Every structure is written in structure tokens, then in C-alpha cells.
């Protein structure tokens, strides 16, 4: 597989999704309705038909953009693994876990828009609690993977010695 082409394809897809989000436009009442107590403030009316309508077109676009961004990060890590002869199945597993967590948050948010609940999870509404307690920690998977494998797969002792040799050569010749 050509990693630069994959990365370019992911970047192009992200740009297309952002353009699609801008072109979709907003439905009537998407900016909210006037608050009865404070006329300068707009309410979103959670649970109302207007509130779900204003999100139904943009939520799938937001979900797709989020998954593409996670795929881009995973592809960058996997490219580094591939350089050393590894396929990076662990990177794929972390990406899938993160995408599942993100999808769970988006589904919970869409459901909450249709039927708000007063129930709290750890002092937060369900979608926010899933975001904080499920999705945010899932991102540490990539970080931990990178930190734990950095000296074996990304910057090896061989890389360091070649870099030092280049520095010595540059210092003797006065530049590259």
C-alpha cells in the first residue's frame, strides 16, 4: 500500500466532509427560538421536534469527520510501524476501539436529542458522561502505544547513530 496516497486520500475526504457540512445549510429554527424570560437569548428546546431536526442532517457529517480524523492519526502511526516491517495491527485495534467509543457518544447524543433524560451519570447527562468517561480515555490508546514503542519502532538506536553521523559530517563540511 502506498501510505502517502492513503494519507492524501484521508485528507481529501476530510476536506470534502468539511465542504459538505458548509453546503448542507441549516434548517429553519436551527439557531434556536427566543427565550421567554430573556428575549436576547435563544433556546435550543431539547427534545422538541425542532431540536432534533436541526441536528439530524449534521450529526452524520460530524460523525464521519471524527472517524476520518481518527483514521488519519492511526494511518500516521501505522506508517511509522510499517517502516520497520510491522503492519501495525495494534494501531488498527486502537483505532477501531476509539471509533466505536466515538460512535457510541454520537448515538447517545442523537438519542438524547429525541428523548432527553434527567438521569445523570457521574453528575453529567448521558452523552456528556460517555464523552468524558469513555471517549476521552480511549484517545490515550494512541498516546500510550506511541510512547511505549517509540524507541523500538520510530527512533531506534540505528536511527540515532545515523543522525549523529550526519551531524558530524555537517559540522566538518560547514553545512548540508
> In a 3-state reduction of DSSP, which class is residue 85?
coil
More confident residue, 116 or 133: 133
d(CA 5, CA 18): 20
Assigned C-alpha cell, 100: 466505536
**Model pLDDT for residues 39-61, shown as the tens digit of each residue:** 888 776 655 555 566 677 888 99
Identify which of 99, 88, 164 has the alpha carbon closest to the alpha carbon of residue 135: 99
Q: Which domain holds residue 150?
A: 3-173
Could you read off the pLDDT of 137-176 as tens digits, one per residue? 988 888 888 888 877 777 778 888 998 998 888 777 766 6
Q: How many structural domains comprise the chain?
A: 1
All residues at 6 or more sequence positions from 32 whose CB lies less than 8 Å from its CB, including other chains: 42, 43, 44, 45
CA distance from start to end of the chain: 32
Distance of alpha carbon 136 from alpha carbon 103, whole angstroms: 13
Amino acid at each position: 500500500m502506498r501510505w502517502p496516497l492513503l494519507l492524501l486520500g484521508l485528507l481529501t475526504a476530510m476536506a470534502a466532509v468539511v465542504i459538505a457540512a458548509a453546503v448542507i445549510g441549516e434548517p429553519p429554527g436551527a439557531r434556536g427560538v427566543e427565550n421567554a424570560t430573556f428575549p436576547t437569548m435563544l433556546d435550543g428546546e431539547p427534545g422538541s421536534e425542532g431540536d432534533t431536526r436541526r441536528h439530524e442532517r449534521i450529526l452524520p457529517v460530524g460523525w464521519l469527520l471524527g472517524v476520518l480524523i481518527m483514521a488519519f492519526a492511526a494511518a500516521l502511526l501505522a506508517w511509522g510501524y510499517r517502516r520497520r516491517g510491522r503492519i501495525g495491527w495494534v494501531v488498527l485495534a486502537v483505532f477501531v476501539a476509539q471509533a466505536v467509543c466515538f460512535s457510541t457518544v454520537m448515538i447517545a447524543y442523537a438519542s438524547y436529542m429525541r428523548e432527553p433524560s434527567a438521569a445523570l451519570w457521574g453528575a453529567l447527562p448521558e452523552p456528556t458522561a460517555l464523552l468524558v468517561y469513555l471517549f476521552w480515555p480511549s484517545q490515550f490508546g494512541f498516546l500510550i502505544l506511541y510512547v511505549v514503542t517509540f524507541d523500538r519502532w520510530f527512533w531506534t538506536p540505528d536511527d540515532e547513530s545515523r543522525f549523529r553521523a550526519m551531524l558530524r559530517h555537517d559540522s566538518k563540511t560547514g553545512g548540508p
